[in-house]
Amino acid sequence: MKIENITSLILVVDDEPDLEQLILQKFRKQIKNNRYSFLFAQNGADALEIIMKNLSINLILTDINMPVMDGLTLLSELNALDNRLLKSVIISAYGDMENIRTAMNRGAYDFITKPINLKDLEITIDKSLKEIEHYKQVLSSHDKLVAIRQELNIANAIQTSILPKTFPAFPERKDFDIHAKMITAKEVGGDLYDFFMLDKYRLAVVIGDVSGKGIAAALLMAVSKTLLKATAYKGIPTDSILEEVNNILTEESPDNMFVTVFYGILDTRTGSFEYSNGGHNLPFLIYNNGEVKQLENVGGLLLGAIKDVMYESKVITLKPGESLFFYTDGITEAFNQNEEEYHESRLVVLLSDNYSNNTIELVDKVISNVEIFSNGVEQSDDITCLALQYLKE
């Protein structure tokens, strides 16, 4: 018969007839208070049958020398069950140390010598059950971590699926080239990037960084990216787009969570690039002679903080062969073992030295250089960069 709602279910395996009454008398208070419940078997074979019918058994107290199936064989059979919550305590004569040693090697948790000292038995049972309870908590925590890990993996798959990741992105286009890469600091990140054609000639580019880390940041990242793209298709100026998205995020995003955004539109017919900035790192313009210059900041707060913020826009003109390099602060604020920052100055030098590279080479070179600089120091922030080159002749 199965026994339910018992704190600890203990199986005693021994062919001595008097042991059952001895244990029931000794632990009568624990039994009455529903702390312990005991089952009894005369040998290992009976014990296995009882265990299969009562999978909630926590602890087994077993003799070694028994008919039909001895205690050592029972231990071997229990190992085959692979039940890590089931612990065994061996009961045997003090002079039978060789068998006791064999039992411990086969996985017994502890042992008690005969004649049984009931106080010692009580202490051993309590210790064993506490160990079992601790292990249950460890397994429960492990299962929760596994579940969280699975959820994070799913979140990562969803997040990366909404970011452009097929390159070359526009193989049929000869008037521009674009490449991007993101390396999250955790399973999911708060950085975002996107690019898409508004019409036949105008390319929209966005890069951003959500405050915070983890799933909350990833969700806000996804919402921000979706809002920006949907609003961009209205065809309104870049500053108006940031104003609209900011007002929505201010109403909908959690308190103390914001997103910095840089948004621009390249007209591939003329090289005209209109942009607005919402508190993000300003991109670098890479000239054909290797000179590198940061774009002028036209102001504008990060998005999601204050409603009805006014943003500004500016227009520059790219010459054929010139590039724009967009990035998040995970690059410039990467640390090395001496706690030094990578810094914008180092990025400018690298961009200048590699001004003739195509967008793939440029992105890979920057990320590789940051990794070399960090030299094994754990990444503390998401690393994202995007390179856009204007190629029209």
Q: Which part of the chain is CATH 3.40.50.2300?
A: 8-141
**Reported pTM:** 0.65
| Three-point CA angle 123, 127, 128, nearest 5° | 115
pLDDT band of 217, cuts 50, 70, 90: confident
8-141 has which fold?
Rossmann fold (3.40.50)
Neighbouring C-alpha atoms within 13 Å toward the C-beta of 306: 9
Spatial distance between the Cα atoms of 162 and 50, rounded to a whole number of angstroms = 54
* Sheet-wide strand order for 87-93: 36-41, 8-13, 57-63, 87-93, 110-114
- Contacts with 360 (C-beta within 8 Å, 6 or more apart), sequence order: 167, 179
Which letter does DSSP use for residue 116 in this model?
A: P
What are the C-alpha distances in Å from 162 to residues 155, 156, 280?
A: 11, 10, 21
Lookup: tokens for 168:
């070359």
Lookup: tokens for 335:
């640390």
Pairing of strands 292-294, 284-286: antiparallel
Q: Is the pLDDT of residue 4 over 50?
A: no
Q: Which part of the chain is CATH 3.60.40.10?
A: 162-390
pLDDT band of 155, cuts 50, 70, 90: low
Nearest partner of 285 among 331, 317, 311, 237, judged by Cα: 317
SS percent in the chain: helix, strand, coil, step 5: 40, 25, 35
Length of the chain: 393
Tokens 């909630």 appear where? 56
Percent of the chain with pLDDT over 90: 49
Spatial distance between the Cα atoms of 156 and 219, rounded to a whole number of angstroms = 11
Are 38 and 46 in contact by the 8 Å Cβ rule? The answer is no
DSSP 30-63: HHHTTSEEEEEESSHHHHHHHHHH-TTEEEEEEE
Nearest partner of 224 among 195, 205, 246, judged by Cα: 246
pLDDT, tens digit, for every residue of 124-144? 888 888 888 877 777 777 666
Which letter does DSSP use for residue 204 in this model?
A: E
pLDDT, tens digit, for every residue of 271-320? 999 999 999 999 999 999 999 999 999 978 999 989 999 999 999 999 99
Tokens 């590279």 appear where? 357
- Residue-level pLDDT at 136: 76
Spatial distance between the Cα atoms of 335 and 346, rounded to a whole number of angstroms = 12
- Contacts with 150 (C-beta within 8 Å, 6 or more apart), sequence order: none
Lookup: tokens for 225:
């990216």
pLDDT greater at residue 4 or residue 140:
140
- Residue-level pLDDT at 153: 66
pLDDT band of 201, cuts 50, 70, 90: very high
> What does residue 266 show for φ and ψ, rounded to 5 degrees?
-100, 125
162-390 has which fold?
Phosphatase 2c; domain 1 (3.60.40)
Nearest partner of 324 among 203, 227, 191, judged by Cα: 203
Lookup: tokens for 82:
């692979």
Nearest partner of 160 among 202, 115, 120, 191, judged by Cα: 191
